[in-house]
A and B are shown apart, each in its own frame.
Chain A
Amino acid sequence: MYRILEKEVLSDVTKLMVVEAPHVARKAQAGQFVIVRIDEHGERIPLTIADYDQEAGTITLIFQEVGKSTMHLGTLQAGDTLATLAGPLGHPTEVANYGTVVCVGGGVGIAPIYPITRALKEASNYVISIIGARTRDLLFWEDRMRAVSDELIVCTDDGSYGRKALVTEPLKELLEARGPEIARVWAIGPAIMMKFVSLTTRPFNIPTIVSLNTIMIDGTGMCGGCRVLLEEGAQFVCVDGPEFDGHKVDWDNLLARLAFYREEERLAVEHWEHECRLEGVLKEQGGA
């Protein structure tokens, strides 16, 4: 069992948790992920590590409530425990001094792009960061990102904060204005965002690293459910990734695979909401 030490509500649907996990914290590096399971009935959820503290033996997880499991996770409080926390998994980000780099974080993808941005900054890169979200409430860690970036561009789809734009717009302008000096681009966010970031950088031929969050079961190379089609063939996100060259990913196949369990995801949410209502009713009756 792994204790949740802190919980922070970043938005209605975005939560941060600091979890006691010394076995993971002592090895964690930027770009890696963990598998979390809430309880005996839970599924194994891959979550990217947003931060880690070796001395305290803790890791920080940030997640957006998009389905039953993340909604359930969001109800847990400091002091509660998680049944499973395995990791760190996947290859760490290849951090080096590349020169000038761009880090793009979209929505909850701001969480995993942060440790990568910090590591790149520590490796003496000139770091330009772009963070974006659908709307102001979904943005977080602007201060942290600013602290590890030489330049920071903030945008929202609806213009409620920062520039009214998709992250690909300022990215394209940057590439047009300063393309030759930019050595690499990292992008983490929804698959559709990563697809369009990759399409944006392709004409400029700038290596673009994306971190894929596909459907996984074990997360250790056993099931192959996470496989992604690259130019060179199928690879497993859990052990070969999670970072890949965005220009080689078959995005349409990836998006189709992400949608495969949509009906079951809907059923799970329905079942969960029904259970929550029942629990509410029982509590009321018990109190009466």
Chain B
Amino acid sequence: MSPLTQRERVKIPRQRMPEQDAVVRRGNFNEVALGFTEELAIAEANRCLQCDRPYCVEGCPVEVLIPQFIRALREGDMVGAVAIMKVKNSLPAICGRVCPQEVQCEIRCVLARKGQPVAIGRLERFVGDYELAMRTCPLERKLPTGKKVAVVGTGPAGLTCAVDVAREGHAVTMFESLHAPGGVLVYGIPEFRLPKSVVHAEIDYAVECLGIEIRTDHVIGRTLTLSELLAEYDAVFLGTGAGLPSFMRIPGINYNGVMSANEFLTRVNLMKGYLFPEYDTPVKVGRKVAVIGAGNVAMDAARCALRLQTLQGKDGEVHIVYRRSRDEVPARAEEVHHAEEEGVIFDFLTNPVEIFGDEKGNVRGMRCIRMELGEPDASGRRSPRPVPGSEFDMEVDMVIFALGTSPNPLVFMDASGLERTKYGTVVVKDEETGRTTMPRVWAGGDVVTGAATVVSAMGAGKRAAADINRFLANEVTDW
């Protein structure tokens, strides 16, 4: 069979991702997107035009060699595809599931002009899942250098940094405050979007290959301080994320049934509350739930609430209450689409002003005000302002705040000399290196940027690792 011509490739339609039916999946926590079969993957890979100048790679925070891995894939060379993927990305099964590809690699694909970019993310996931099953291409490690590196936080930034530093032969110890590694990948992102078995398998695989030690139950700032780490390690990377939840400053936030998305999602995901009482941690869900905010975390919370309503036999509603309009929704397009398919109701241009409780201290309602959009603000989005006199009451019995998070300050105990912004994020002197104002301390991910995406944190971890490797090899000595 002769190879396809470019014209033939353009004619192949974008392959659909097999998915669990929207009605069925409301009643379980199983993965929604089922993954490409080999046939679908090769058909999709055949759509790639192998551009001389691959714009897609420019959109990827970790610069995955996209055309090369797709080429290997369509030639049926799975091992080659895995090997090429791992040059830049050691966590493809995770990235393929949670990266916002539509605004990164896929938006730059030449086929995107016709609205049908190559499904790069789905192909990445296919390669990642293949490797987790087959383990064809273990990560390799250079001879031990005798240098020791501490990585604080085992989320996307920390994991990526740890892998790249360990590959150079440095001894890496990772510190995790919770009982399981993965950070937001395990406590935040739900099972139906990112199965925990995938997270654990991908982390275990990388860690085993490279001899990385993970110490769970270590709360840096309390169990050990940054100064103590600096005394024992040659370099320290802070990838502690943004774990501190925000609440609105309105009356009534302490009624029972009002909680942060972090609490709700941690109960569901990390503690497996949806399996209560098989698992000990309970999670309640209301009949009428309002999730405040419209980011990925809000979508995750809303979709978890829907599933719990079904599982707990509560006929109900889940609302996303968002002060801006649909055009400003920050969540990944696929998550909004899935949430709508599953029945989440979107209340745009709406903002809470007060929460009401009953005599037992349980939430029973929420007063909101209508908003309208004014001029663009500093973020470039049109800023919302209240419409006078437009208050109205919503009957709700659960309110979940998903308003963004800031860095947990615990890690900064005994870390004077580490400069931070007024938002609590760590100041890095240069984004390309991730160096902080404290010698031998690097930082990256949400702890620097505030809440962002998994892959941007991975990119920061990768850049910091490269600089740590240069620093430990004495290629650069000044700070």
Contact = CB atoms under 8 A, between A and B. Distances in A.
A and B assemble together: yes
Interface of A: 23-24, 27, 35, 37, 41-44, 68-69, 83-89, 217-218, 220-225, 227-229, 233-234, 239, 250, 252-253, 256-257, 260-261, 264-265, 267-268, 271-272
B245 A27 contact: no
B222 A88 contact: yes
A42 B279 CA distance: 6
B271 A44 contact: yes
Nearest to B360: A256
A220 B245 CA distance: 12
A42 B276 CA distance: 10
Interface in B408-458: 408-410
Nearest to B253: A234
A272 B263 CA distance: 24
A68, A217, A228 — most chain B CB neighbours (10 Å): A217
Given A37-B179, A234-B254, A256-B256, A43 B271 contact: yes
B247, B271, B277 — most chain A CB neighbours (10 Å): B277
Contact of A253 (B216, B217, B272, B361): B361
B263 A224 contact: yes
B90 interface: no
A220 B177 CA distance: 8
Contact of A218 (B177, B280, B284): B177
A198 B143 CA distance: 63
A261 B408 CA distance: 27
A261 B187 CA distance: 21
A90 B374 CA distance: 44
A37 B178 CA distance: 11
A223 B222 contact: no
Contacts of A272: 277
B223 A23 contact: yes
Contacts of B360: 256
Tell me the interface secondary structure of chain B in the complex.
loop
Contacts of A83: 179
A122 B214 CA distance: 38
Contact of A86 (B223, B262, B362): B223
Contacts of A233: 249
B39 interface: no
Given A43-B271, A86-B219, A234-B254, 19 more contacts: A27-B222, A35-B217, A84-B217, A86-B179, A88-B223, A217-B267, A217-B271, A218-B187, A222-B245, A223-B262, A227-B247, A250-B254, A257-B254, A257-B361, A260-B257, A261-B284, A264-B282, A268-B277, A271-B277
Contacts of B223: 23-24, 27, 86-88
Contacts of A239: 408-410
A268 B283 CA distance: 12
A229 B255 CA distance: 10
A217 B267 CA distance: 7
Contacts of B270: 217
B266 A227 contact: no
Contacts of B410: 220-221, 239
A227 B254 contact: yes
B271 A89 contact: no
A41 B222 contact: no
11 contacts: A23-B217, A83-B179, A86-B223, A87-B222, A218-B266, A227-B254, A228-B254, A252-B361, A256-B360, A261-B282, A268-B280
